[in-house]
Amino acid sequence: MASSIVLSFVGQQDPYSDNTEHEGSIATLIRHLLDQKYSIRRVILLHTQDVAQKANDTKHWLQDKPFNLPKETIELVLVGAELSADPVSLLLAVQEARKGLEKAVPFLSKQDRLEFNASSGTPVMKTSWSLLQAAGYAPHSSVWQVRNPKEMKEGQPRVFQTNVDTLKNEFDFKVVKRQIEDYNYSGALVTLKDSNLSTNLIIALLEYGQYRIAFDFERASEVIQPFANLVEPEFISEISSLREKDQISLFKEVYFRAITKLKNQQYADFVADIFKFQEGFLRFLVETKLGFFPKSYIETQGFRHKLKDFDGGNLDCFLNDYTLDNGEQLRFSQGFPSRIVLIAILEYYQQEFSELLELLGQLNDYCLLRNINTHSFEGISELENPGRILKILRDILRQKTAVPDNNSFNVLNSKICNLLTDVLQS
Domains and CATH numbers, the chain: 4-163 (3.40.50.10770), 180-398 (no CATH)
Residue 3: pLDDT above 70? yes
Helix axis angle, 25-35 to 52-63, nearest 10°: 20
- Measured distance CA(413)–CA(217) in Å, rounded: 18
- Measured distance CA(420)–CA(104) in Å, rounded: 30
Q: How many CB atoms lie within 10 A of CB 313?
A: 12
- What's the whole-number mean pLDDT along residues 173-197? 91
3-state SS class at 265: coil
Residue 269: pLDDT above 80? yes
Residue 370: pLDDT above 70? no
- Measured distance CA(117)–CA(8) in Å, rounded: 5
Confidence of residue 373 (pLDDT cuts 50, 70, 90): low
Q: What pLDDT, on the 0 to 100 scale, is given for residue 228? A: 93
* 378-415 per-position pLDDT tens digit: 656 566 777 888 898 999 999 988 888 888 999 999 99
Q: What pLDDT, on the 0 to 100 scale, is given for residue 266? A: 87
Q: What pLDDT, on the 0 to 100 scale, is given for residue 367? A: 63
Residue 366: pLDDT above 80? no
> Which range, 169-178, 214-223, 307-316, 336-345, has the best average confidence (pLDDT)?
214-223
Q: What pLDDT, on the 0 to 100 scale, is given for residue 325? A: 77
List own/partner pairs for 343-352 with CB under 8 A and 24 or more apart.
Answer: 343/282, 344/318, 344/319, 345/286, 345/289, 345/290, 345/307, 345/315, 345/319, 346/282, 346/285, 346/286, 346/289, 347/322, 348/315, 348/318, 348/319, 349/289, 352/289
Q: 122 near 87, Cβ under 8 Å?
A: yes
Helix axis angle, 247-263 to 200-213, nearest 10°: 100
Dihedral sign from CA coordinates of 258, 260, 262, 264: negative
- What's the whole-number mean pLDDT along residues 292-320? 84
- Measured distance CA(150)–CA(381) in Å, rounded: 67
- Measured distance CA(135)–CA(3) in Å, rounded: 23
Confidence of residue 377 (pLDDT cuts 50, 70, 90): low
- What's the whole-number mean pLDDT along residues 111-139? 89
Q: 245 or 297: which carries more pLDDT confidence?
A: 245
Confidence of residue 1 (pLDDT cuts 50, 70, 90): low
Q: What pLDDT, on the 0 to 100 scale, is given for residue 127? A: 92
Percent pLDDT > 70 in the chain is: 94
Confidence of residue 166 (pLDDT cuts 50, 70, 90): confident
Q: What pLDDT, on the 0 to 100 scale, is given for residue 216? A: 96
* 75-101 per-position pLDDT tens digit: 999 999 999 888 889 999 999 999 999
Q: 307 near 316, Cβ under 8 Å?
A: yes
Q: What pLDDT, on the 0 to 100 scale, is given for residue 7? A: 96
Q: What is the DSSP letter of 93?
A: H
- Measured distance CA(77)–CA(229) in Å, rounded: 52
**H-helix or E-strand spanning residue 174:** helix 165-181
Residue 8: pLDDT above 60? yes
Residues near 354 by Cβ (< 8 Å), separated by ≥ 6?
none
| Mean pLDDT, all residues of the chain | 88
Burial of 186 (0-12, 13-18, 19+ CB in 10 A): middle
Of 124, 125, 146, 128, the residue nearest 138 (C-alpha): 128
